[in-house]
Structure 1
Amino acid sequence: MSSKGNMTDVAMPQLAESLVSATIAKWLKKPGEKIEQYEPICEVITDKVNAEIPSTLDGFMGEIVAEEGSSVAVGEIICRISAAGGAEAETAAASKSEPVTVQQSSTADASMRSRFSPAVQTLAAEHGIDLNSVTGTGMGGRITRKDVLSYIGNGGSAKRDAEAPAASTVSNHKAEANTGSPFAGMVSPPPSVPSPPLGTVIPDVRHSGLHLTEMPKIPQIEVEDTGNGRSEYFVDVTPIRNTIAKNMRQSISEIPHAWTMIEVDVTNLVLIRNKLKDEFKRKEGVNLTYLAFLLKAVVNAIKDYPIMNSFWAVDKIVVKRDINLSLAVGTEDSVITPVIKRADQKNIAGLAREIDELARKTREGKLTLDDLQGGTFTVNNTGSFGSILSYPIINYPQAAILTFESIVKKPVVINDMIAVRSMANLCLSLDHRILDGVICGRFLQRVKDNLEGFSLETKLY
């Protein structure tokens, strides 16, 4: 930041080492509005993840230089802030008094209620405060540092602290029921909710545990009359969709894709998961999904065939030592790939917890750049929405991507007899510069053997 009189220039920060620009997604403050130090002033979109830019001083929002939707290079000015106490600040305060009253008096809008800035989270953690108990006065019901400090100063209320988690739980369940979110299955019931009585039949619906948490934003649509009585619809390309298009085009144009598939008998896997999932949920508070077992099978196969954990570097092939699994998570309007770091050092229970943690972060909009960087091999659970066969595009610059398709009961011939078994397809896209059919065939066979090797004696820890 640079200062001119009482006005301070705010520049686009270097959010990551390789980042050269970011797109302004939304301004959280308008000219004339009061700003506290560390309070987010805008949301930006990068090639990896959405982020927030906080204010570094107390004051009032001045001129907005970069409009929403514009791409700004690192170091360029995005806005100016009037430092608290200056003449500009007093003028801004006078001009903003009426709009702020309207904003703070409106309690219906709680769209930002669950979005917490790092400063708010740190302050709450230091004082052991449950943010569900704090009333937010920011935009969309957002909790600011001033709200937390005020809550600390008032000492809180025991009754309020007791009622807030219950109210939050009810609202969470209502939200899940209304949103159809792909992350809906991952919310653990509170301890106060009793388990169903023994003998109750609960339908076993297969899901990966990685699901949407909110309805996607409705794209802006423009209608143009062509003059012949018919109209065409134009949908704005969002920065996220533009980034996906760029990455997919790069992957397809630079990587010679090849594809192969193998069928796996997962009958024993279904049995062990059904046997252990209820106890695991009570003990760990998270769902035991098929995805956790798949990741373990993939990790063990990569250990046997480390060339799968590599990328092309023009004059050499770089094989990564750490196995960092990227999980392809699709929503109606985007695809993100959060990463489980050092997945080879985790057991099945640990992988299940990591899946739940990534689901929670995505649900709360708290994924960081670090959560999305460093992936060395991608796993995609397309079976979670019923797919039985797919041809995935490689997550550039990795060497391969594996998809786990839907589990389907089929008649299978075993020892010249027909039996009904739970079957699933594993589909692998590979970079043919690095990998060939023989090595990938052996790798898939090893993943198959690992999945079919799970039994009722398999240990989760």
Structure 2
Amino acid sequence: GVRKFFSPLVRAIARSEGISFDELSAIQGTGSGGRVTKQDLLAYIERKSPAKSFVPASKPEPVATPQAYNKSKSTIVPMDNLRQRIMEHMIRSRDTSVHVAAISEADMTGIANYIDRNAVEFQNREGFKLTYMPFIANACVKALKDFPLVNSSIEGTNIVMKNYVNLGIAVAIETTGLIVPVLKGADEKNILGLARGIYDLAMRARTKKLSPDDIVDSTFSITNYGVFGNLMGTPIINQPNIAILGVGVVQKRPVVINDAIAIRQMAYLTLSFDHRLIDGALGGQFLEKVIYYLENFDTTNQLYE
């Protein structure tokens, strides 16, 4: 007999409902030349309703492969509560936000030199090292004031504009954990205040001394995988934020300045943002503004008055 033609949509529906080609061919079509339409197929599936109730049972196939590894040479390690919460949080973020990433590079030479000049005095006074993080946080705060939509969140079909900046700072704990404590009132702090606040949160995260209030109400987040030597990454958005900045390692690279090659301290920055609210133009402009504030940091600024 003549082989019937079925539209790609009809074939896709049939495949997802487990309807064979022969079964599909037997359906009486109401379309042009007796062709089976989408409506014909859906009506047929509706009439087959007893079988329909079994369709969901065939969905969880991907996880039904426990024999796919050598059990005698493998060890089962139950996830601890923290790992389970991280897993759930990451899945929720993936399923909530439409992730897009923009990547650019920043010349950190001015800040690197400033840190070198102030390192000894800072260490002596504070008891910990001056790092790039407070400078990056400071640049983010300024850029968020310029682009307040990046500091917002989505609630149903409403945009919640936050008139304050609370920075989530991702902290690696032990070897298998990650937590994002929140630096409250980051927009009210100078470089010194940001440095102290970030260090305090990181220490309390690693010694399990964070309070429940320390891990809620962030408006924007920063993750610094550069501390592990990584060049760049595409971080997952920390819900309910609309964006997260990923910071790569700062290292010397040859760059072209005014047609001459110079050795500069460079870093790749990634902005992962939620395309439900932030379009590419705004995401790109925000990232470039962060870089502008980093590259134009006032190196005459005194850490201590």
User: What TM-score, normalized to structure 2?
Assistant: 0.74
* Structural mapping, 1:81-100, within 5 Å: none
Which of the pair is proportionally richer in helix? Answer: 2
Q: Is the 8 A contact 1:287 1:352 kept in 2?
A: no
Q: CA deviation at 1:419?
A: 0.8
* Structural mapping, 1:424-439, within 5 Å: 424-439=267-282
Q: Deviations over 1:184-228 (max 9, x none)?
A: xxxxxxxxxxxxxxxxxxxxxxxxxxxxxxxxxxxxxxxx99998
Q: In structure 1, the residue corresponding to 2:204 is in which secondary structure?
A: helix
The aligned amino acid for 1:432 is H
- The number of residue pairs the alignment matches comes to 238
Of 212, 225, 236, which aligns to 1:393? Answer: 236
- The answer to whether residue 258 in structure 2 is matched with residue 419 in structure 1 is no
Distance 1:437 1:392 in 2: 16
Quote the residue 2:216 is aligned against: 373
Distance 1:264 1:229 in 2: 48
Q: CA deviation at 1:267?
A: 0.7
Q: Is the 8 A contact 2:234 2:272 kept in 1?
A: yes
Q: Deviations over 1:216-272 (max 9, x none)?
A: xxxxxxxx9999895222111111111111111111011111111011111111000
Quote the residue 2:103 is aligned against: 261
Distance 2:166 2:126 in 1: 23
Q: Deviations over 1:270-324 (max 9, x none)?
A: 0000001111222233321110111011111101111111111121111111100
Distance 1:397 1:228 in 2: 40
**What's the RMSD between the two structures over aligned residues?**
2.0
Quote the residue 1:289 is aligned against: 131
Give the 3 Å change call, closer, same or farther, for CA 232–316 of structure 1 in structure 2.
same
Of 280, 288, 295, which aligns to 1:445? Answer: 288
Q: Is the 8 A contact 1:325 1:379 kept in 2?
A: yes
Q: Deviations over 1:79-110 (max 9, x none)?
A: xxxxxxxxxxxxxxxxxxxxxxxxxxxxxxxx
Quote the residue 1:359 is aligned against: 202
Quote the residue 2:24 is aligned against: none
Q: CA deviation at 1:455?
A: 4.4
Distance 2:277 2:70 in 1: 53
Of 159, 163, 175, which aligns to 1:317? Answer: 159
Q: Is the 8 A contact 1:311 1:398 kept in 2?
A: yes
Give the 3 Å change call, closer, same or farther, for CA 284–225 of structure 1 in structure 2.
same
Distance 2:168 2:237 in 1: 11
Q: Is the 8 A contact 2:246 2:270 kept in 1?
A: yes
Of 66, 69, 81, which aligns to 1:239? Answer: 81
Give the 3 Å change call, closer, same or farther, for CA 307–460 of structure 1 in structure 2.
farther
Q: Which runs of 4 or more aligned residues in structure 1 lie more than 4 Å from their structure 2 counterparts after TM superposition?
A: 224-230
Q: CA deviation at 1:456?
A: 3.1
Q: In structure 2, the residue corresponding to 1:442 is in which secondary structure?
A: helix
Q: Is the 8 A contact 1:225 1:232 kept in 2?
A: no
Q: In structure 2, the residue corresponding to 1:233 is in which secondary structure?
A: coil
Q: Is the 8 A contact 1:413 1:419 kept in 2?
A: yes
* Structural mapping, 1:298-309, within 5 Å: 298-309=140-151
Q: CA deviation at 1:358?
A: 1.3
Give the 3 Å change call, closer, same or farther, for CA 300–460 of structure 1 in structure 2.
farther
Considering Cα pairs closer than 8 Å and 6+ residues apart, tell me whether 1 or 2 has the greater RCO: 2
The aligned amino acid for 1:238 is D
Q: Is the 8 A contact 2:179 2:205 kept in 1?
A: no
The aligned amino acid for 2:87 is A
Q: Is the 8 A contact 1:256 1:431 kept in 2?
A: yes
Distance 2:100 2:67 in 1: 43
The aligned amino acid for 1:294 is I
Q: Is the 8 A contact 1:287 1:356 kept in 2?
A: no
Q: Is the 8 A contact 1:410 1:422 kept in 2?
A: yes
Percent identity among equivalent residues?
41
Quote the residue 1:348 is aligned against: 191
Distance 1:227 1:328 in 2: 33
Distance 1:255 1:367 in 2: 27
Q: In structure 1, the residue corresponding to 2:301 is in which secondary structure?
A: coil
Q: Deviations over 1:147-184 (max 9, x none)?
A: xxxxxxxxxxxxxxxxxxxxxxxxxxxxxxxxxxxxxx
The aligned amino acid for 2:117 is K
The runs of 5 or more residues in structure 1 that have no matched partner are 1-223
* Structural mapping, 1:207-222, within 5 Å: none
Distance 1:403 1:343 in 2: 18
Larger of the two Rg values belongs to structure: 2
Quote the residue 2:177 is aligned against: 334
Q: In structure 1, the residue corresponding to 2:75 is in which secondary structure?
A: strand
Distance 2:210 2:299 in 1: 35
